[in-house]
Amino acid sequence: MSQRHSKSAADVAMVERILTDGDVEAIAEATAARLAEIVSRAPGTFALVDARQLARDLDVSLDYVYAHASELGAMRLGSGPKARIRFDLDRARQALEAGPGRTNGRRRR
């Protein structure tokens, strides 16, 4: 029995390549440029705030924030009964502006 060793397409495609310092630098620069492009297109900022800060920033009552937490994009940090809740400020602002009228969300004075 003769054994023939044939190379698969994957074996042929896997060729050892050695990157030069210039190659690594070019990859790093291209990656940094791409990330800068992505970040510059990102709307606003991403800031997580607690319910009290959100109420202040949106000029609504704390009760309103808790009553409409899911609509405002609440994120629970943890799974317990007292898990902290945080909000993305930009998302909450958008939800408040786009949401159906304020039935129970009187502004604080």
**Local structure of 88: helix, strand or coil:** strand
Q: Which helix (H) or strand (E) holds 93?
A: helix 89-98
Q: Give which of 42, 38, 47 is closest to 92, Cα–Cα.
A: 47
Is residue 58 within 8 A of residue 96, CB to CB? The reply is yes
Is the predicted pLDDT of residue 108 greater than 50, yes or no? Answer: no
Query: Quick one: average pLDDT of 2-22?
Result: 70
Reported pTM: 0.51
Q: Which helix (H) or strand (E) holds 75?
A: strand 75-77
Cβ neighbours of 53 (radius 10 Å):
15
pLDDT classification of 99: cutoffs 50, 70, 90:
confident
Q: Between 27 and 2, where is the model more confident?
A: 27
List, for residues 32-55, the tens digit of each pLDDT value.
988 888 777 766 666 789 999 999
